Amino acid sequence: MKHALHLLTAGLLFATAAQAQTKLSIPPLSPTTRIHQNFSTSYIDLTYSRPSLRGRTAFGGLIPYGTVWRTGANTITKVRFGEEVKINGQTVPAGAYALLAIPDAKEWTFILNRDTAQWGTYDYKQALDVLRVKAKPTKLAAPVETMALMVENLKPASADLVLNWDRTQVVLPIVADPDRIVMGQIEQAMKGEKKPYYTAAQYYFNTGKDLTPAIGWLDEAIKASPTYYGYYWKAKLLQKQGKNTEAVAAANKSLELVKDDKNEISKAEYMRLNQEVLALAGMKK
């Protein structure tokens, strides 16, 4: 009894001493990384921990083939989509998901799972999968020491989620539909008081839409406030429509107004831009 009491007392003293120790800040072997990438009309967020090789072989070694992997180290890798996207033609609603993978020598399986609170894959439940898609790995020319997940090849409606580690690269294409979202926003905004004339007109110009309504919006903006900026954009749209005479008139009006700009940098910039429109319209000022 006396011996047991001594052990209990020693244990309590050890616990108290441990609690009293100074907390150390030790470099993590697999540091956590957070990526926020603007994409389409919203974003893609990634949170994951980055393991390193440290003399080991990644796939088929440290990470066995054919088993569900957390796509990183420590806790589960998380991906959040700010809007609905498609992966391999399958719709993925906006929201946060655990990003898992099943590596293999010739083909990988990527998984999106609803359980973002799991640690590793110890409590992984396939019933909570939202998506399973295949991807072909390719061999890198040189080994990558520390695993990297990146959002690359960014375009307005598409991007690639790229995994590089050791000599392996795997790419997961992601597709969005920003045009549907933006056109809905424009339709709704044009019913309100603060109409986004310039932004909407520029979107039509940049996406190759019918410019007739866009020029009408610029006319409304110019009517409310005649600026060299407004006339310049009207000239660009008219020139793209092939209405060169009207484009020249708008560009010349922009040049006339920009002379009063007190900012010499913006004045020089818009003089140059308008001269470009005039050259494209076939008439130099």
For the record, the structure tokens of 53 come out as 């090789």
Q: What is the pLDDT along the chain (285 residues), one digit of tens a residue?
A: 555 445 444 554 445 555 668 889 999 999 999 999 999 999 999 999 999 999 999 999 999 999 999 999 999 999 999 999 999 999 999 999 999 999 999 999 999 999 999 998 999 999 999 999 999 999 999 999 999 999 999 999 999 999 999 999 999 999 999 999 999 999 999 999 999 999 999 999 999 999 999 999 999 999 999 999 999 999 999 999 999 999 999 999 999 999 999 999 999 999 999 999 999 998 644
Residue tagged 């954009």 (tokens): 233
**Buried b / exposed e along 12-22 (16+ C-beta atoms within 10 A):** eeeeeeeeeee
Domains by residue range for the chain, with CATH:
29-176 (no CATH), 179-280 (1.25.40.10)
Cα–Cα dist 227/259, whole Å: 11
DSSP string, 52-99: B-TT--TBTTTB-TTS-B-SSEEEEEEEEESS-EEETTEEE-SEEEEE
Provide the whole-model pTM: 0.84
Cα–Cα dist 193/182, whole Å: 18
Instruction: Please count the other Cβ atoms lying within 10 Å of the Cβ belonging to residue 281.
Output: 21
Q: List the one residue out of 38, 116, 16, 36 whose CA is nearest residue 71.
A: 116
Residue tagged 């999968």 (tokens): 129
